[in-house]
Structure 1
Amino acid sequence: MTAALETLRAVFGYETFREPQDAIIDGVINGRDALVIMPTGGGKSLCYQIPSLVRRGCGVVVSPLIALMQDQVDGLRELGVNAAFLNSSLDSQQVREVESALQGGQLDLLYVAPERLVQPRTLDLLLRCDIALFAIDEAHCVSQWGHDFRADYLQLNLLHERFPDVPRIALTATADARTRREIAIRLDLEDARHYIAGFDRPNIRYRIALKQNPRQQLLAFLRSEHAGDAGIVYCLSRRKVEETARWLQEEGIPALPYHAGLPAAERSANQSRFLREEGLVIVATIAFGMGIDKPDVRFVAHLDLPKTVEAYYQETGRAGRDGLPANAWLVYGLQDIIKLRQMMDNSAGSEEHKRAEQQRLNAMLGLCEITSCRRQALLHYFGDTLSDPCGNCDTCLQPVETWDGTEAAQKALSAVYRTGQRFGVSHVIDVLRGLENERVLQLDHHRLGVFGIGADLGANPWRSVFRQLVARGYLSVDMERYGALRLQEKARPLLKGEESLALRKDSSPATNTRQKTRQTLPEDIDITLWEALRECRRQLAEEQGIPPYIIFHDSTLQAMCLQRPRSMAAFGKLPGVGTRKQEKYGDAFLQVINDAAT
């Protein structure tokens, strides 16, 4: 571990490892396999990068996203690491150059797409070379129960068969117990040491609100809390992605779309701009994001409900990788629930798979409707614990009011039953409220005993009741009958008066945007110096054609502002300043600091 610590300090500019990085790195250096579950921003990459530099040979990293390999390799080269990648973006001459460097022992790290790795030509090449280790990044892609399943990952167990003496480390930020078991089985890592580093991201503030006017809710959130910040807005459909990106542009917010249906060149260009420019918003489907290394994403906003808690955690985890305050903001409504359940019902999966997906959606709905600390519930889902409420989610900062919804729920369930379980929410609410509109009269539903028994509540409160009854499994939605509500077995004891039900009081749009998190800079920081350092970083990045964060993270610039080093030796002691970056950038940033002092 002496060599590992020296590498950490000299190359990456940090003094100590976080737990359990030291144990993982020690094990891999000594030839042992590992399965690592570590939150985004927790330092997973160091767990294979440092052993690759310490062990003899080249570390081979299996990465699912070709578009990101260039930036990962650029970042390593900035640190003085000999890194390269092999994927379909290279022409034949470039491929030969990388292969020659690998065979000549000139590479420390090689990034390879899984489909490229399993080709006989690649395997034969690797068998002729010294391989330090195999790192399988985004390992949840191997699981058919995961949210990012990739069929090409299923062949990666051949690494154990073809390279039995080379240690393997599989890493992911998102895996519940079932997914972890499948990763271990499919990658032949059942005998490996498993490291679960905890799932908490304390710098992220989780906020979930009801859709009322989602575009205006999003606009208020961006303008009041994230003006000029980089962020991601997730939408369920490609059409909604493009419409939302156009609308944000019209509102004066720089935004670009990203989804799998865009031309490859446009998709790549938009992703590249997001990584390299500051203050840009990307509007995307879930096709965007896996492996995104941009550290200064200040918010992730969801305009539609994610399918699973795993997906929600993975997507929100792209915010605040630098450890500074960030927002995870979500709005959802009953139509989201109906749409996702329809998609699951119409999927080609087995009945077992559909049941599992329904359970996962129910868990996501439970997280939305919960009245206690969201972070505690989120961590509990992954088998992690938090002893006290976090104080940094909406339900902690603004405790949810509840009301005894037993009688209202009984009325709602009775109305569904008396109308024949053949109608959607809007019609049942009209009956409850005693509205004598054309459809109610035509169907003679004004003669039912439940007609008008809910006149004391307005349409929106009744929608809240029905949303919560669907979310909690008292009602289902039959999409083959145009969204008809149906009673579930769970509703029986509630209807009989054998149990009570507390429901959330839905907050107004105004209260949904009060909890601000824009506190990325310490109060005592010199803003003039901060902006001068950012401009220096921007110019250097532009000259080299790389993202600014590859030069230095915001946290390192903050350290410059607070410590104001005046010598090269002092500059080299800043967090995130390794030997290579000290030599390459020290003079430029010291000049800015010295100029600010005169």
Structure 2
Amino acid sequence: MSQALSIKSRDAALETLRRVYGYDAFRGQQAGIIDHMIAGGDAMVLMPTGGGKSLCFQIPALVRPGVAVVVSPLIALMRDQVDALRQVGVNAAYLNSSLDWRDAVEIERQVERGELDLIYVAPERLVTPRFLDLLERSKVCLFALDEAHCVSQWGHDFRPEYLQLSILHERFPTIPRIALTATADAQTRADIQARLNLGDAKVFIDSFDRPNITYRVLPKQEAKRQLWAFIKTHHAEDAGIVYCLSRAKVDETATWLAAQGREVVPYHAGLDARTREANQDRFIKGEGVIVVATVAFGMGIDKPNVRFVAHLDLPKSMEAYYQETGRAGRDGLPADAWMAYGLSDVVAMRQMLESSEAPPEIKRIEKHKLEALIGFCETAACRRQVLLNYFGEVLPEPCGNCDTCLEPVETFDGSIAAQKALAAVYRTGQMFGTGHLIDVLRGTMTEKIEKFRHDQIKTFGVGADMSKQEWGSVYRQLVAAGYLTVDHEGYGALHLTKSAAPVLKGQQSVRLRRDNQAAVKKSLRAQRGSRSGSSAPAVLSQADDDLWHKLKACRLELARTQGVPPYVIFHDSTLLEMVRQKPRDPYRMGQLPGVGTSKLDRYGDAFLAVIRQTV
């Protein structure tokens, strides 16, 4: 590509960014990716959630002649992205099972007539002979393969239908393709390239860092109370996602949170399709709605103002954790990733792994991924450094915005405590769980101890100087470090591993982290939520907070009138700029980030009226 052509395409891309989307500059590697796509090159893009992946194919689609075909795995994702594109004046549509045949036929005709800029389709529809023939008769400018990790068996969300997408390279070899994902380790990246015939594609890897997210992991004691204290203190009016492992726990947690006075919806595969869709719709189109869900929820959720993601159970891998927590703060404003974690989580996930029917090689990889996540939970170092290191990225300095940075964790020589804990397992015959073992160590007489005469063994009472919580932490860390394992028959008995022998014999030292009990106790107490500190993503004066809420009310009314999510009108970040700058005329309103030409024409007067009446 000549330098003159490159400059021309870059100018066209930047003009499109300003006119359509209302932004003055690209972020990260967006400019290079867009330049490459406009020139007709193939690309594989790894960019964090909220990093602006969609612009990497949307802008080339608007600059290059023809229609862009976007492969997307979920109906809700297609609908949300098409709604957002239509708001900024882009001709976009989707083809999926939610349309009746008449609407589908009309959209196919629009594709063939060249009336659309982008068409969103599911992978199974794209590879049908009917749709491939339609593309042969149409002018296609590019293929965008979103959520590309779905093609890899090593990814966290494998979708077999994605394997068929290699047909695009065979059938349309001259049309550029871009594969995009937010989460893929080196093995997954290689798999994506191989399975999609993207061996010659240019790879763009942006930073995985999400500096606006504060990561917090705390020992699980009374998980629902800890969760409520966190929500009430930090997110009293905010939208959020709470993840649970089982359907029963989702229902129980959703009911409990609703009883505390929040608007809450459950989401899991046990609900009928209509209920799931209605609950997801309430979450997406509402303000301040909390969804409690299994991991079946969330892939492709575009809602940018999710202010927190909470885990009441351990995710299955670092990739899953990163993907799920990445649904918080997509708008770049402050957000929280909160998790309550205990030994029971480790036991449950390892039992699920062992009982799965996956082949040994897959189990080995999944075990490695789970161990990396457990290490993240138990670290005394900066969590962001550990997280980024897993994805091959180095953060030179601690982030200062995670719990271990904000409240540094104390470590200690835990060799003697580890010896006592392991000895208790050995001397009781490796037949009991942590509750009984802690009673033995603390010298607490119970019916079970009396029955098995465990008050007669040497370790009875040798740990009376430590609390139940402290011994629970020791056992949790010994399991996480691989000195102990838990039986997989559902009884929770601890067994020694080969690694335990040197520790028991005093030949190997063990360093442990000391759980911050003051922080744990604090996590159980709900503080009074501050209005401006919870709903508005910034500390605002009372007057500005009043304007913030009135702008949100205006946005919600406009969104309900059109039946679209509020964020497709304006993101929270744009409303916040309205609060800060208080524009009084269309020109100044049009200078705000996120206010493109179409949105200024459609909504400028309504929001200007709110500002003039309030300020």
For Structure 1 versus Structure 2, the TM-score category normalised by the shorter chain is over 0.9
CA deviations 1:527-569 (Å, max 9, x no partner) are 2322222222122112111111101111111212222222222
Instruction: Say which SS state the counterpart of residue 198 (structure 2) adopts.
Output: coil
Paired residue type of 2:521: A
Of 403-412 and 428-437, the range deviating more from structure 2: 428-437
Paired residue type of 1:198: S
User: Quick one: distance in 2 between partners of 1:535 and 1:82?
Assistant: 28
Match of 1:520 among 537, 542, 549: 537
Q: What residue in structure 2 maps to residue 591 of structure 1? A: 609
TM-fit CA distance, 1:421: 2.2
Paired residue type of 2:609: Q
Paired residue type of 1:223: K
1:168 maps to 2:174: no
User: Quick one: distance in 1 between partners of 2:287 and 2:399?
Assistant: 30
Instruction: Say which SS state the counterpart of residue 76 (structure 2) adopts.
Output: helix
For the 8 Å contact 1:376–1:389, the answer to whether it is kept is yes
User: Quick one: distance in 2 between partners of 1:471 and 1:36?
Assistant: 34
TM-fit CA distance, 1:200: 0.6
TM-fit CA distance, 1:166: 0.9
1:543 maps to 2:561: yes
User: Quick one: distance in 2 between partners of 1:345 and 1:386?
Assistant: 34
Note closer, same or farther for the CA distance 1:493–1:120 as it changes in structure 2 (3 Å cut).
Answer: same
Paired residue type of 1:577: V
Q: What residue in structure 1 maps to residue 521 of structure 2? A: 510
Note closer, same or farther for the CA distance 1:438–1:529 as it changes in structure 2 (3 Å cut).
Answer: closer
1:93-492 to 2 correspondences below 5 Å:
93-480=102-489, 482-492=491-501
TM-fit CA distance, 1:247: 1.1
Of 177-186 and 413-422, the range deviating more from structure 2: 413-422
Instruction: Say which SS state the counterpart of residue 53 (structure 2) adopts.
Output: coil
Question: Could you list the runs of 4 or more consecutive aligned residues of structure 1 that deviate by over 6 angstroms after TM superposition?
Answer: 513-517
Percent of matched pairs sharing the same residue: 61
TM-fit CA distance, 1:479: 1.6
For the 8 Å contact 1:84–1:110, the answer to whether it is kept is yes
TM-fit CA distance, 1:404: 1.9
For the 8 Å contact 1:60–1:131, the answer to whether it is kept is yes
Note closer, same or farther for the CA distance 1:313–1:596 as it changes in structure 2 (3 Å cut).
Answer: same
1:568 maps to 2:586: yes
CA deviations 1:391-413 (Å, max 9, x no partner) are 11111011112222110101111
User: Quick one: distance in 2 between partners of 1:484 and 1:430?
Assistant: 14
CA deviations 1:144-196 (Å, max 9, x no partner) are 11111111111111111111111111111111111111111111112111111
Instruction: Say which SS state the counterpart of residue 73 (structure 2) adopts.
Output: coil
For the 8 Å contact 1:422–1:481, the answer to whether it is kept is no
Note closer, same or farther for the CA distance 1:511–1:130 as it changes in structure 2 (3 Å cut).
Answer: same
Paired residue type of 1:221: F
User: Quick one: distance in 2 between partners of 1:475 and 1:14?
Assistant: 54
TM-score (norm 1): 0.97
TM-fit CA distance, 1:499: 2.4
User: Quick one: distance in 2 between partners of 1:299 and 1:242?
Assistant: 19
1:555 maps to 2:573: yes
For the 8 Å contact 2:434–2:472, the answer to whether it is kept is yes
Paired residue type of 2:537: T
User: Quick one: distance in 2 between partners of 1:539 and 1:183?
Assistant: 43
For the 8 Å contact 1:38–1:199, the answer to whether it is kept is yes
CA deviations 1:44-100 (Å, max 9, x no partner) are 000000011111111111111112211211110111101000111111101101100
Q: What residue in structure 1 maps to residue 29 of structure 2? A: 20
User: Quick one: distance in 2 between partners of 1:564 and 1:438?
Assistant: 70
Of 232-241 and 471-480, the range deviating more from structure 2: 471-480
Instruction: Say which SS state the counterpart of residue 179 (structure 2) adopts.
Output: strand
User: Quick one: distance in 2 between partners of 1:88 and 1:511?
Assistant: 49
TM-fit CA distance, 1:378: 0.6
TM-fit CA distance, 1:430: 2.9
TM-fit CA distance, 1:462: 1.5
TM-fit CA distance, 1:481: 6.9
User: Quick one: distance in 1 between partners of 2:432 and 2:612?
Assistant: 72
TM-fit CA distance, 1:436: 4.1
**Root-mean-square deviation over aligned CA pairs:** 1.7
Paired residue type of 1:18: R
Paired residue type of 2:508: E
For the 8 Å contact 1:232–1:301, the answer to whether it is kept is yes
Instruction: Say which SS state the counterpart of residue 307 (structure 1) adopts.
Output: coil
Of 412-421 and 5-14, the range deviating more from structure 2: 412-421
User: Quick one: distance in 2 between partners of 1:535 and 1:387?
Assistant: 43
User: Quick one: distance in 1 between partners of 2:204 and 2:458?
Assistant: 60
Note closer, same or farther for the CA distance 1:501–1:27 as it changes in structure 2 (3 Å cut).
Answer: same
User: Quick one: distance in 2 between partners of 1:505 and 1:22?
Assistant: 46
CA deviations 1:385-436 (Å, max 9, x no partner) are 1111111111101111222211010111122222222322223223323344
Instruction: Say which SS state the counterpart of residue 489 (structure 2) adopts.
Output: helix
User: Quick one: distance in 2 between partners of 1:511 and 1:386?
Assistant: 30
User: Quick one: distance in 1 between partners of 2:547 and 2:457?
Assistant: 72
For the 8 Å contact 1:207–1:393, the answer to whether it is kept is yes
User: Quick one: distance in 1 between partners of 2:283 and 2:490?
Assistant: 43
Gaps of 5+ in 1: none
For the 8 Å contact 2:152–2:192, the answer to whether it is kept is yes
Paired residue type of 1:510: K
User: Quick one: distance in 2 between partners of 1:447 and 1:549?
Assistant: 66
Q: What residue in structure 2 maps to residue 51 of structure 1? A: 60
Paired residue type of 2:122: A
User: Quick one: distance in 2 between partners of 1:9 and 1:87?
Assistant: 31
TM-fit CA distance, 1:355: 1.5
User: Quick one: distance in 2 between partners of 1:477 and 1:592?
Assistant: 60
User: Quick one: distance in 2 between partners of 1:438 and 1:223?
Assistant: 40
User: Quick one: distance in 2 between partners of 1:532 and 1:422?
Assistant: 61
Paired residue type of 1:42: G
CA deviations 1:207-259 (Å, max 9, x no partner) are 00011111111111111111111101110001111111111111111100011
Of 180-189 and 22-31, the range deviating more from structure 2: 180-189
Q: What residue in structure 1 maps to residue 96 of structure 2? A: 87
For the 8 Å contact 2:76–2:301, the answer to whether it is kept is no
TM-fit CA distance, 1:593: 2.2
User: Quick one: distance in 1 between partners of 2:573 and 2:439?
Assistant: 55
CA deviations 1:307-342 (Å, max 9, x no partner) are 111111111111111111111110011111101100
For the 8 Å contact 2:225–2:524, the answer to whether it is kept is no
Paired residue type of 2:550: A
TM-fit CA distance, 1:513: 7.2
TM-fit CA distance, 1:283: 0.5
For the 8 Å contact 1:87–1:113, the answer to whether it is kept is yes
Instruction: Say which SS state the counterpart of residue 45 (structure 1) adopts.
Output: helix
Q: What residue in structure 2 maps to residue 7 of structure 1? A: 16
User: Quick one: distance in 1 between partners of 2:587 and 2:238?
Assistant: 33
Gaps of 5+ in 2: 1-9
User: Quick one: distance in 2 between partners of 1:448 and 1:260?
Assistant: 49
CA deviations 1:496-534 (Å, max 9, x no partner) are 323222212222323447999847125467223222222
Instruction: Say which SS state the counterpart of residue 470 (structure 2) adopts.
Output: helix
